Structure 1
Amino acid sequence: MSPSVSTAGRQARRATVASFIGTAVEWYDFYIYGTATALVFGKLFFAGADPATGTLAAFATFWVGFLARPIGGLVFGHIGDRVGRKNVLVTTLVLMGSATTLIGVLPTYADIGVAAPVLLVLLRAVQGIAVGGEWGGAVLMATENTERGRRGIAGMWVQQGSPAGAVLASLVFIAVGHLSDEAFLSWGWRVPFLLSAVLVVIGLVIRLKVSESTDFETARAREKKAGPAARATAKVPVVELLRTSWPLVLLGVGASAMGISSAYFTNTFVLSWATSDLGVDRQTMLDILLVLAVLQFLWQPLAALLARRVGTVRVMAGALIANIVVAVPMFLLIATRDSTLIGLGLALGVITGASYYAMLAGFLAQAFPVRVRYTGISLAYQLCSTVIGGSTPLVAQWLLGVGGGHWPVVGYYITLLLLTTVCVLALARRRAGSSDAGGAEGSAGRAAEGVATAV
């Protein structure tokens, strides 16, 4: 092995590890907000409302983070496409950690009245802006530093940040969940938010040691050698993106729908539904969510290995179709109120959903040209977060109330799966015919066109 190959390999591994750890910290911050939304925010920040209205109001603040995510995607996507990926990721990590830590010391409605939910909404918006810039940059730092044949695996490790963050969030909330209700509502819920400050420092130390993206540096070097005629960066990335690749953005939004919605459906809506309407013990549900996060973390690498053998799109489409099949049994098992059956039902959704989610990052990254790639994947993913993903708990809770039962929620869940499946296949067909997106890992690129045509 030549020194250059060895160095490139080390850089690729370092970039992947840094992307995974930083993303895990970011998702930890985002998930603890979702858990706190389901368990305490309605009681502490909307104390004047009845329980159902307070829960809806808390879910609305949860959605604010998603409304802000496209702003982060546009701002940091522009910077990332113009000047590079690395410094953006340092900035987003600091932003997220600062907002999360401040939530941990925020006075409640009983302390400062209406100012409390206002400040909560503002800090949630900062969280959304940070995540909006984080995900796309982490995906690109991992995949653009890795050889083409292994980019799906590198993208999968970025996706591992989601279950890893969920595991951390569940462990911390399980620890404070053993407190009495009085202590938990008084100060226990703050501990997970304050812990973020420590995790951010760890993430920063690791990220500061990573070099800039190889693909971005190669494009800049080519521009310097060939002159302005070979400009590697777009002057205004979002303008060029919407002028040349707007269909990819729309398909990317749809292809991300279930990947974003599923986590918040399980960790936020189901947690709230089970611990309120179904009467399941809070600690039991937190234990179930921890097991599910570990299951997802262990399952996603297996899905990525399978995708290298049979093709990325075949795995993604097959997993989505399987998720549709298990949707009704999953809800029936949750509605039994039995903790074992609830865990089994949710596990069906996690295994099928994680098989698709594991490959989503690499799949989207290869759909856009390097010049506008950061902006492209960020805008697609974050618009989906705003329009579809972040509203999932709010819409599901509303449907549960007006529908008088869980069947309208089942219909909503299946609709999201159908939308995702159609858009994955359509985007795969366009990607397979694109020379810029060629060289997909294994037979993914060739398989994409075949699967889309067959279906």
Structure 2
Amino acid sequence: MSTTALPSSGPGGNPEDDDATVGGVPRSRIVVASMVGTSIEFYDFYIYATAAVSVFPHLFFPKGDSSTALLASLATFGLAFVARPLGSIIFGHFGDRIGRKATLVGSLLTMGIATFLIGLLPTYHQIGILAPALLAIMRFSQGLGLGGEWSGAALLATETAKKGKRAWAAMWPQLGAPIGFLMANGLFLIITLFLEHDNGNPDLDGSFLTWGWRIPFLLSAAMVLIGLYVRLKLEETPVFARAVERGEKVKSPLAEVFKTSWRQLIIGTFVMVATYTLFYLMTTWVLSFGTGRTAADGGHGAGFHYSDFLVLQLIAVLFFAATIPVAGWLADRFGRRSTLLVVTGAIMVFGLAFGPMLAVDSISEGRMLFFLVVGMILMGLTFGPMSAVLPELFPTNVRYTGSGIAYNASSIIGAAVAPFIATWLATTYGVEWVGVYLLIAAAATFVALLVMRETKDASLDS
């Protein structure tokens, strides 16, 4: 395999590239294509996360007490994270063999179709145990799609970036996470208010649990069509095209990445652990904690009204979106490694603040909002550079596979079990132990960053 970069005639390394285009394709179209797909993918993912707390325990896991039903629902939420590494292998193989463009279309369709079908599923009361089984299959399919989506969008951004601006270019697909979250939870908020649904005292025969919850899932079909329209107008990335010209494609990207880049796989996986753990604590777990019954009602939660808490989350996510561009600029200015070391250290300190900030006997809306805002600011700062860091660790011919496996393997360690473990810790030992759990995950990431090489000036033409 050649490791010599080809001469660059322009920002994209191609004679016809300039500040406005890459291979004749406007950069604005590339930005939109990288961001719109991940926005749709994360929208699909988050409507499931919200429904896993507020809908599925009542309709798909109704037997047993409420805590058992919630844990069962969160277990299916984690199932997608098991599927995501498999999705990264499948889509990574085709992404490294046939190209980024076609693979991105396939991942979008896989995720979108599965999400749409969830909106059509019959419930446990209608078909019994088959209902949660079908839900689990659809959730697994969602994970397959997202497993191939992120790395493809990240490569689309990084492999077409201007020189010295890769982290800035790569932050655009990262913005899909807060955009998708705002769309998903904003829509759920509107529906619950319009249908007068009370998550603390749900009406199983009310409009929301009868049909209203299906609307966000069914609307994903229209969004997928928009994403397909944008992506089908793209060309292949110039970095991948040059790798093909040099004859660098390998027969089995999976075997090649484990043979030549196993160290990068391990480092990349643990670099993402703190990011994943923080985010799913600040979205999925905190929703169940914030809207859960108080001790006076026999629970371990904060007792906020569902719609009130969603408003707090939506406000906090705006800070998440605002800090992603800041993180991209910092990573280009000071380097990926040093930026992430500082942010990860701050996440460890934040973990120690869970106990005093979330004490249920004195919690208020103001304190909860402050907690959410701090967590989301840290999330934006750690998440923003990741779509540059992970692709930069791997050579072109296994970049889709390698970055995808690292990103999604870390999802099992950092996210799949995070809501489940956090719920168990909070109910068994107290909310401060959820913070300790975050601190341990961040410490693992800190060590990985210490041994990671700086990739800011690494050539992608290798």
Could you tell me how far apart the structure 1 residues matched to 2:357 and 2:192 are? 25
Displacement after TM superposition at 1:222 (Å):
2.4
Work out whether residues 354 and 432 of structure 2, in 8 Å CA contact, stay in contact via their aligned partners in 1.
no
Displacement after TM superposition at 1:158 (Å):
1.2
1:451 alignment counterpart:
none
Q: Within the alignment, does 1:269 sit opposite 2:289 as a pair?
A: no
2:373 alignment counterpart:
347
Work out whether residues 354 and 435 of structure 2, in 8 Å CA contact, stay in contact via their aligned partners in 1.
no
Q: Within the alignment, does 1:251 sit opposite 2:277 as a pair?
A: no
Could you tell me how far apart the structure 2 residues matched to 1:402 and 1:382 are? 29
- Show CA shifts across 1:64-117 (max 9, x none): 111111110001101111110111111111111111111111111111111110
Read off the aligned partner of 2:94 and give its amino acid letter: I
Displacement after TM superposition at 1:439 (Å):
4.9
Could you tell me how far apart the structure 2 residues matched to 1:3 and 1:218 are? 14
Could you tell me how far apart the structure 1 residues matched to 2:422 and 2:235 are? 43
- The correspondence for 1:68, drawn from 83, 96, 119, is 83
- The correspondence for 2:344, drawn from 320, 323, 344, is 320
- Map 1:366-381; keep pairs closer than 5 Å: 366-381=392-407
Could you tell me how far apart the structure 1 residues matched to 2:325 and 2:445 are? 21
- The correspondence for 2:217, drawn from 173, 193, 198, is 193
1:416 alignment counterpart:
441
- Show CA shifts across 1:177-225 (max 9, x none): 21233222111211111111111111111111111111100111222xx
Displacement after TM superposition at 1:242 (Å):
0.7
Displacement after TM superposition at 1:159 (Å):
0.9
Q: TM-score, normalised by structure 1?
A: 0.90
Displacement after TM superposition at 1:329 (Å):
2.6
1:235 alignment counterpart:
251
1:83 alignment counterpart:
98
Work out whether residues 279 and 379 of structure 2, in 8 Å CA contact, stay in contact via their aligned partners in 1.
no
Work out whether residues 59 and 125 of structure 2, in 8 Å CA contact, stay in contact via their aligned partners in 1.
yes
Alignment: residue pair count: 426
Work out whether residues 15 and 211 of structure 1, in 8 Å CA contact, stay in contact via their aligned partners in 2.
no
Read off the aligned partner of 1:38 and give its amino acid letter: V
Could you tell me how far apart the structure 1 residues matched to 2:17 and 2:386 are? 30
1:112 alignment counterpart:
127
Could you tell me how far apart the structure 2 residues matched to 1:95 and 1:25 are? 12
Q: Within the alignment, does 1:438 sit opposite 2:458 as a pair?
A: yes
Read off the aligned partner of 2:458 and give its amino acid letter: G
Change in Cα spacing, 1:355 to 1:379, as seen in structure 2 (3 Å) is: same
Could you tell me how far apart the structure 1 residues matched to 2:181 and 2:355 are? 22
Work out whether residues 273 and 413 of structure 2, in 8 Å CA contact, stay in contact via their aligned partners in 1.
no
Q: Within the alignment, does 1:211 sit opposite 2:239 as a pair?
A: no
Displacement after TM superposition at 1:125 (Å):
0.4
2:302 alignment counterpart:
278
- Show CA shifts across 1:382-417 (max 9, x none): 1111233111101111222332x1122111011111
- Show CA shifts across 1:129-164 (max 9, x none): 000011111100111112331111111111111111
Q: Within the alignment, does 1:122 sit opposite 2:146 as a pair?
A: no
Could you tell me how far apart the structure 1 residues matched to 2:381 and 2:438 are? 17
Displacement after TM superposition at 1:428 (Å):
2.8
Displacement after TM superposition at 1:11 (Å):
3.9
Q: Within the alignment, does 1:136 sit opposite 2:161 as a pair?
A: no
Could you tell me how far apart the structure 1 residues matched to 2:373 and 2:214 are? 29
Could you tell me how far apart the structure 2 residues matched to 1:393 and 1:208 are? 36
Could you tell me how far apart the structure 2 residues matched to 1:387 and 1:355 are? 20
Displacement after TM superposition at 1:331 (Å):
4.5
- The correspondence for 2:67, drawn from 31, 48, 52, is 52
- The correspondence for 1:401, drawn from 424, 427, 435, is 427
Read off the aligned partner of 2:215 and give its amino acid letter: V
- The correspondence for 2:451, drawn from 426, 429, 448, is 426
2:391 alignment counterpart:
365
2:39 alignment counterpart:
24
Displacement after TM superposition at 1:360 (Å):
1.0
Q: Which moved more, 1:330-339 or 1:414-423?
A: 330-339
Q: Which moved more, 1:5-14 or 1:30-39?
A: 5-14
Could you tell me how far apart the structure 1 residues matched to 2:151 and 2:26 are? 19
Secondary structure in structure 2 of the residue aligned to 1:177 = helix
Work out whether residues 140 and 374 of structure 1, in 8 Å CA contact, stay in contact via their aligned partners in 2.
yes
Displacement after TM superposition at 1:376 (Å):
0.3
Displacement after TM superposition at 1:419 (Å):
1.0
Work out whether residues 85 and 213 of structure 1, in 8 Å CA contact, stay in contact via their aligned partners in 2.
yes
1:94 alignment counterpart:
109
Read off the aligned partner of 2:385 and give its amino acid letter: M
Could you tell me how far apart the structure 2 residues matched to 1:410 and 1:296 are? 19
2:3 alignment counterpart:
none
Work out whether residues 350 and 435 of structure 2, in 8 Å CA contact, stay in contact via their aligned partners in 1.
no
2:170 alignment counterpart:
155
Work out whether residues 109 and 117 of structure 1, in 8 Å CA contact, stay in contact via their aligned partners in 2.
yes
Work out whether residues 334 and 346 of structure 1, in 8 Å CA contact, stay in contact via their aligned partners in 2.
no
Read off the aligned partner of 1:303 and give its amino acid letter: A
Calculate percent identity across the aligned residue pairs: 38
Q: TM-score, normalised by structure 2?
A: 0.89
- Show CA shifts across 1:218-241 (max 9, x none): 111222xxxxxxxx1111111111
Could you tell me how far apart the structure 1 residues matched to 2:62 and 2:238 are? 51
Work out whether residues 156 and 301 of structure 1, in 8 Å CA contact, stay in contact via their aligned partners in 2.
yes
Work out whether residues 256 and 420 of structure 1, in 8 Å CA contact, stay in contact via their aligned partners in 2.
yes
Could you tell me how far apart the structure 1 residues matched to 2:36 and 2:427 are? 39
More helix by share: 1
Displacement after TM superposition at 1:285 (Å):
1.1
Displacement after TM superposition at 1:3 (Å):
5.7
Read off the aligned partner of 1:72 and give its amino acid letter: G
Q: Within the alignment, does 1:384 sit opposite 2:410 as a pair?
A: yes
Unaligned runs of 5+ in 2: 1-9, 198-205, 293-300
Work out whether residues 322 and 380 of structure 2, in 8 Å CA contact, stay in contact via their aligned partners in 1.
no
Secondary structure in structure 2 of the residue aligned to 1:272 = helix
Unaligned runs of 5+ in 1: 224-231, 441-455
Read off the aligned partner of 1:7 and give its amino acid letter: T
Could you tell me how far apart the structure 2 residues matched to 1:55 and 1:85 are? 38
Work out whether residues 173 and 192 of structure 1, in 8 Å CA contact, stay in contact via their aligned partners in 2.
yes
Could you tell me how far apart the structure 2 residues matched to 1:144 and 1:307 are? 17
Read off the aligned partner of 1:438 and give its amino acid letter: A
Could you tell me how far apart the structure 2 residues matched to 1:100 and 1:424 are? 35
Could you tell me how far apart the structure 1 residues matched to 2:181 and 2:278 are? 13
Q: Which moved more, 1:50-59 or 1:380-389?
A: 380-389
2:21 alignment counterpart:
7
1:39 alignment counterpart:
54
Secondary structure in structure 1 of the residue aligned to 2:142 = helix
